[in-house]
Amino acid sequence: MKKTLLTMVAIATVAFQVHAQQDTLKKVKKDTVARSLPSPLNSPPFPSSEWDGSPLIGASSETPNYPLQKLLGLTKGRFKIYGWIDAGGNISSSKHSNAPESYDLVPNGVVLDQAIIKLERLPNTVQTDHFDYGFLFTNIFGTDYRYTTSKGYFSDQLLKHNNKYGYDPAEIYGMLYFPKVADGMVLKIGRFISPADIEAQWAPDNYLYSHSLMFTVDPYTFTGALAIIKLGAHWQLQVGAHAGNDMAPWSNSASLNGLLMARWVSNDNNNSLYGGINSLGAGKSKNDHDNLQMVVGTWGHRFNKTLHMMTEVYYMWQKDALVGGTVIDGPPKDFFTGVGAGSMIPGSAKAVGAVNYFQIQLGDKDYISVRNGYLNDPQGNRTGYATKYSDHTIGFVHHFNSLVMVRPEIRYERAYADGVTPYDNGLKKDQYTAAMDLIVRF
C-alpha cells in the first residue's frame, strides 16, 4: 500500500510541475449559433458545455488542434487526430478486487486506465445549405477495455481470457448530415456509444474518475443506425435500430432492437430532459450474452452560473438471463473472479438504477462533484449478487492547463441484503476507496 501511495503522490507531483508551464486553457465559446440556445455550462472546467444528448445539431463542435495534430502538420481542414493518456490509482479497503466498482477495478495499485487515439471528421451542422459527412474512430488500450468490449470486436481478450489489459475499437461510425430534413438530421451508421447516460466511457467526458454502480452494469455501445433529428431550438429526436447491447450484428448473440429517444431544453436552458427507450426487442439473453431492454431518462438543472446538477433513472429487464449476466469464460484473476456461467433466472430479470450529480464550480479550472448512486439488482443478473446497493463519492477536479487535469476523490459503497457480501471477491459487504487519476491530452 505504501508503494501505491508513493506512486499516486508522484503522479500528483508531475501534474503540479506541468502547472508551472504557460497555461493555454481556453474557454469553449459559450454562445453557439443562432439556431441553438446559449450553452448552459462552462467547459472547462466541466466536461461539456451542453446538457446530455450529443451531438447537438446546429452547434459548433469542432475539436481543437491538440499537440499531435500540430506535430503532424494537419491543422488545416476538418480532419482531427488526437487522444489522451489516463493513469490512476487507489487506496482501498479491499485487498483483491474493487468490483463491482468499475474503471477503478484493481485495489491498492496504479494502472493505465485508458490510452486513446481518436480519428474524426465532424460534419458542419451549423450551416443549412448543403450535405456534409463525418466519421469517428476511437481506439482504446488499457484496463478500461473490459467495460467497452463488444462481442464480435476482438472480444476474446475479455470473454475467453479475462485479460487485465486489452484493446477495443470502441467507436467506429460514419455520419451523414442532411440539412433539409426537419431542421437538420445526422445519421450515424456503425458502432456508437449507447444513449442516454450522464457518465461516459471516456475519461475527460466524466465529472469524476470512478463511475456509479448503475452506470457500471448498463449498456456501453450499440452497433446499428441512429438518426438524430433537430426540431427547432428546443427539441431533438433520436430514432434507431441496433444489434443489442455490446455485441456486433455478426455475433451469435445479436438480436434486433429498436431505439426511440427525445431531448428537450427549456427556453432559458436551465433545464433539460433526455430519455426514452434505448433498447426494445425480443429481450432474451442468448448464447451467454445479455440483451438488455432499457427505459432511461436524465434531467439536468442549472441553479446559477456556478451550481448545477444531473439526475438519471433507468429500468432494465431481460428474459432467460443468467446470474452475473454476460459470461466471461476466461480464467479467474485476483482482480476479477466472476467468471463462468451463472444459473438461469426464471422469468424476467430486472434492475433499477438512479444517480445524482451535484457540481460546484470553484473557478475557471476547478470544481467539486458530489455523486450519490443507487442500484437494485433483485435477482443478481447485473452484479452476481441479489441486493440493493448505494455508492457515494466526493471529488475535486483541477485543470492545470488545456492538456492536463487531475481528479482525486473519496468513495464509500455498500450492499444492503442480509448476508450478501459482493466486495473483495465475495468477502465484504462494503468498500472504502480514495482514488485519483491524471489525464494528459495529446
pLDDT in tens, 89-124: 999 999 999 999 999 999 999 999 999 999 999 999
Mean pLDDT of the chain: 93
Residue 191 placed within a domain:
yes
**Domain count along the chain:** 1
pLDDT on residue 19: 44
Residue 64 placed within a domain:
yes
Cα–Cα distance for residue pair 282/76, rounded to 1 Å:
47
The letter for the amino acid at 10 is A
Average pLDDT over residues 228-242: 97
Cα–Cα distance for residue pair 41/60, rounded to 1 Å:
15
Q: Look up the domain containing 181 and give its range.
A: 27-83+113-396+409-420
Residue 286 placed within a domain:
yes
Average pLDDT over residues 168-180: 98
Average pLDDT over residues 130-157: 98
C-alpha cell at 164: 487485465
Q: Is the pLDDT confidence value at 232 over 60?
A: yes
Q: Is the pLDDT confidence value at 10 over 80?
A: no
Average pLDDT over residues 144-172: 98
| Confidence grade of residue 52 (pLDDT, cut at 50, 70, 90) | very high
Q: Is the pLDDT confidence value at 32 over 60?
A: no
- pLDDT tens for 294-303 read 999 999 999 9
Cα–Cα distance for residue pair 65/134, rounded to 1 Å:
17
Average pLDDT over residues 154-167: 98
C-alpha cell at 57: 445539431
pLDDT on residue 361: 99
Q: Domain holding 182: CATH number? A: 2.40.160
pLDDT on residue 24: 38
pLDDT on residue 61: 82
Q: What are phi and psi of 77, to 5 degrees?
A: 95, 180
Residue 309 placed within a domain:
yes
Average pLDDT over residues 355-368: 99
Q: Is the pLDDT confidence value at 7 over 90?
A: no
Q: What are phi and psi of 41, to 5 degrees?
A: -125, 160
C-alpha cell at 177: 448530415
Are 65 and 441 within 8 A, CB to CB? no
3 state DSSP class of 216: helix
pLDDT on residue 354: 99
Q: Which residue has the cell 462533484?
A: 369
Cα–Cα distance for residue pair 319/347, rounded to 1 Å:
6
Residue 194 placed within a domain:
yes
Q: Is the pLDDT confidence value at 419 over 50?
A: yes
C-alpha cell at 374: 443507487
- pLDDT tens for 374-389 read 999 999 999 999 999 9
C-alpha cell at 430: 462494503
Q: Is the pLDDT confidence value at 323 over 60?
A: yes
Cβ-count burial of 161 within 10 angstroms (0-12 exposed, 13-18 middle, 19+ buried)? middle
Q: Is the pLDDT confidence value at 219 over 80?
A: yes
Residue 217 placed within a domain:
yes
Average pLDDT over residues 69-86: 97
C-alpha cell at 80: 482531427
Q: Is the pLDDT confidence value at 365 over 90?
A: yes
Q: Which residue has the cell 430479470?
A: 349
Q: Is the pLDDT confidence value at 148 over 50?
A: yes
Q: Indicate the DSSP class of residue 320.
A: S
Residue 207 placed within a domain:
yes
Please tell me the chain's helix, strand, coil percentages from 3-state DSSP, rounded to the nearest 5: 10, 45, 45
C-alpha cell at 193: 456509444
Residue 89 placed within a domain:
no
Q: How far is CA 202 from CA 199, 238, 294, 298, 426, in A?
A: 9, 22, 22, 19, 29
Cβ neighbours, 10 Å, residue 22: 5
pLDDT on residue 35: 73
